[in-house]
Amino acid sequence: MEEEGHGIVIVGGGICGLATALALHRKEFRCLRRKDLIETMAKNIPAGSIRFGCHVVAIQQDPGTHGPILTTVDGGTIRAKVLIGCDGGSSAVARYLGLSPPKAIPRTVLRGFTAYPHGHPFGAEFLRIRGGGEFVVGRLPVTRNLVHFFVTMPNPPTGIMLATKDVSATTTKDFMLEKLRDCCAPEIVQMVQDSDPESLNVVNSIRYRSPWQVALAAFHRGAVTVAGDAMHAMGPFIGQGGSAALEDAVVLARSMSRANAAGGGHGAAVREYVRERRPRVALLSLESFVAGTLLRARSLVGKLACVAVLALLGTRSLRHADFDCGRL
């Protein structure tokens, strides 16, 4: 089987992998819907940079150079001078770095888009409400005619259909609608009911790294590092995982370009990237962790403790959107 050598190898073609590839090619981007974002970034990456179906199954350290050697699903091997793991919550690169897998919370999340051809009456505000104690519904207008929503609930006990992994998004939607009718305003029920079936997505397990792991873990070894969910999976509780992945891409590309200009090594660039990102992603992970804990807290004391920590972390609604990670 053929062996290849490359300067920079990015494992993973999700938001973070594409953003990192794009940032390393020095372009700017802005987008809201995941699909649009992914397509826009993929279109702007130079032809031939993305290799589809190239699943990395193992990574070893070369005993001579100490650099990583990747084995792909077709048996090929790739030697990389720089390896960036943007391969999500089950990251092979994170495993190579010795990181334990993210933890999982059994919770069902349904998300999708609803079109309002004649305009919706919701303004621009993000709304998050609790329904019937265990449901949380989020509503985020994207344009005058399009609204993004999510509904989360604890996974039903084993044996009930929704607890299985393969259940369809439409079945989940119907199950949730039945419950929402009892505890939510008619406009919320209508929004979920009228959602575009093609846009629906369901997950049954939410993965996250604990904030203390994000604060302390070794996120680099030589010129190998992780970004996006591979570094700081944080679930959907504050809706910042994807945004933080984009910030990672900008900071990493900037560190690499500064190190190149200064004649520094790749290892120093990667170290600088981790140093700069760690406080930011540790705080986001903490906030997301506490927000998720609040959702599941049963006791009043537990709830009050979560609310107090969240208040300490900040209450201004646009503070995350206003975060400036600097220019490329």
Name the residues that contact ligand FAD, by CB under 6 A.
11-17, 55-56, 86-88, 90, 92, 109, 111, 203, 206, 228-229, 236, 239-243, 245
Our CA dihedral for 175, 177, 179, 184, rounded to 10 degrees, sits at 160
CA atoms within 13 A on the CB side of 53: 2
Phi and psi dihedrals of 208, rounded to 5?
-150, 150
Q: Closer to ligand FAD by CB, 55 or 144: give it.
A: 55
CB of 248 to ligand FAD, least distance (A): 8
CB of 148 to ligand FAD, least distance (A): 8
CB of 201 to ligand FAD, least distance (A): 7
Gap between the Cα atoms of 137 and 124, Å rounded? 16
Q: Closer to ligand FAD by CB, 79 or 264: give it.
A: 79
CB of 204 to ligand FAD, least distance (A): 10
Q: Closer to ligand FAD by CB, 242 or 265: give it.
A: 242
Phi and psi dihedrals of 195, rounded to 5?
-65, 155
- Give alpha helix (H) positions in the chain: 15-24, 34-44, 92-96, 169-183, 186-193, 211-216, 229-232, 241-261, 266-296, 300-313
CB of 276 to ligand FAD, least distance (A): 17
Q: Closer to ligand FAD by CB, 170 or 260: give it.
A: 170
∠ CA 311-111-279 to the nearest 5 degrees? 40
Q: Closer to ligand FAD by CB, 200 or 268: give it.
A: 200
The DSSP output letter for 326 is -
